[in-house]
Every structure is written in structure tokens, then in C-alpha cells.
């Protein structure tokens, strides 16, 4: 029996690369999708200042308010990173998601800065 290799640094790199590819694909399919998505994150943060939320909350709100859905939900990863670097939101920690398709996986949660 072979032992599973755990490489957390490589896993982080793979996650960033996957989010980047998904974001580029979203912009290719719908020009400037990432800029529009960023504006939805900014508005969501304004409306929800002081409340904790996860990316899935922003996505549901954004789609309900007119943002087109990207082929891969992972495209929001780059948008969320951009919002963190812009000081719009800040990461608070990790907890289980409530989204049915996420199967209660752990994900980051945030607060509007």
C-alpha cells in the first residue's frame, strides 16, 4: 500500500491556479465579468457592513441581482482576493458552508472592512 503524499504548499498553488484559470475563462466568455463581479462584491460589502458572510452568500446575491453565472464558480476566488487586497473585505477564518452543492465543506468567511 502506498501512502498519500500531502503537500500543502502545492495544494495552495493549485488552488490559486485553478481560480485564475476560471477567472480568465469567465472574462473570455463574458468580457469584463471580473470587473462586474468585483462591483457586486463591493456593493454586497457596503450593504452588509459589520456582518459575517461567505463567498456563497455573495454569489447567490450577485446572481439574483443580474450578474451572469460563470462556467466555474471558482472564478469568484480571484474576485474575492482582489476585494481583500483592495481592503473591501477581510478574512475572518474558516467554517462549514451551507450550500447544498458544497456538501458542508469548509470555506473562508469574511466581514466588510
pLDDT value at residue 95: 93
The Cα–Cα gap between 70 and 75 comes to 7
The Cα–Cα gap between 113 and 105 comes to 25
For residue range 35-78, what is the model confidence (pLDDT) as tens digits? 999 999 999 999 999 999 999 999 999 999 999 999 998 999 99
For residue range 73-101, what is the model confidence (pLDDT) as tens digits? 899 999 999 999 999 999 999 999 877 67
Query: pTM of the predicted model, to two decimals?
Result: 0.83
pLDDT value at residue 112: 93
Q: Give the start-end residues of each E strand in the chain.
A: 52-54, 89-96, 106-112
CATH of the structural domain 8-112, one choice from 3.40.50, 1.10.10, 3.30.60, 1.20.120: 1.10.10
Alpha carbon distances (Å) from 42 to 6, 22, 48, 86, 102: 36, 20, 10, 10, 24
Amino acid at each position: 500500500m502506498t501512502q498519500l503524499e500531502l503537500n500543502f504548499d502545492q495544494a495552495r498553488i493549485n488552488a490559486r491556479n485553478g481560480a485564475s484559470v476560471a477567472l480568465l475563462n469567465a472574462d473570455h466568455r463574458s468580457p469584463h465579468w471580473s470587473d462586474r463581479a468585483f462591483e457586486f462584491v463591493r456593493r454586497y460589502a457596503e450593504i452588509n457592513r459589520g456582518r459575517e458572510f461567505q463567498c456563497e452568500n455573495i454569489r447567490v446575491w450577485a446572481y439574483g441581482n443580474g450578474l451572469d453565472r460563470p462556467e466555474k464558480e471558482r472564478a469568484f476566488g480571484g474576485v474575492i482576493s482582489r476585494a481583500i487586497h483592495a481592503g473591501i473585505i477581510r478574512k475572518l477564518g474558516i467554517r462549514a458552508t451551507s450550500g447544498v452543492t458544497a456538501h458542508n465543506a469548509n470555506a473562508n468567511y469574511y466581514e466588510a472592512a
